[in-house]
Amino acid sequence: MRSTSRPNGLIRRNARVHFNLGRLQVTEHELLKNRESSSQEHLKISEDRLTFTRMKHEQRLLKQLLMQLANPGDQIEALESRMSQRSTLIEGEIHQLSNLNNTIRNLSILFDFEEAFNSVEYSCSDESMPISNTQSEKEFDEKYD
């Protein structure tokens, strides 16, 4: 039997509180579970988006490769054009190197001639003393100016 010290209303109220607390605990557990599942769903959606983006990128790359394979003539023409441009550049560089080589050869000849010219001693018919290069230049300048 029930104790007479507690009224029936209080017992019912306590039972309701316990029942409501139990429901709140179940609800809280469900909320935590839903949070975990929603974050997992969010991760899955993010992974799906990433996979979709990768697939689109791969699809673009495949299209480019197919276009290249479908038109090999265009690629061959482009390669021939590039090779022609490079050969023209190489020919120009060979021409420049040839010009540079000729210039170096000419300078070498000039230096050899200058050495030979500087080593020769000049003499006048009335004097037996050698004339320096600077004296002959002065005489030449005076005579023909």
Enumerate the domain spans of the chain: 8-144
Compute the distance between CA of residue 41 and CA of residue 29 in angstroms, rounded to an integer. 18
Q: According to the model, what pLDDT value does residue 93 have?
A: 93
126: DSSP letter:
S
Convert the pLDDT of each residue in 90-124 to its tens digit: 999 999 999 999 999 998 888 888 887 777 765 55
Compute the distance between CA of residue 81 and CA of residue 70 in angstroms, rounded to an integer. 19
4: DSSP letter:
T
5: DSSP letter:
T
Distance spanning both ends of the chain, measured CA to CA: 152
Handedness of CA 32, 34, 37, 39 (dihedral sign): negative
Q: According to the model, what pLDDT value does residue 122 have?
A: 58
Beta strands in 1-145 (DSSP E): 122-123, 130-131
Q: According to the model, what pLDDT value does residue 1 have?
A: 44
Angle of CA points 16, 17, 22, to nearest 5°: 95
Out of 9-13, 103-107, 131-135, least confident range:
131-135
Convert the pLDDT of each residue in 49-97 to its tens digit: 888 888 888 999 998 888 877 777 777 888 899 999 999 999 999 999 9
pTM of the model: 0.34
Compute the distance between CA of residue 55 and CA of residue 47 in angstroms, rounded to an integer. 12
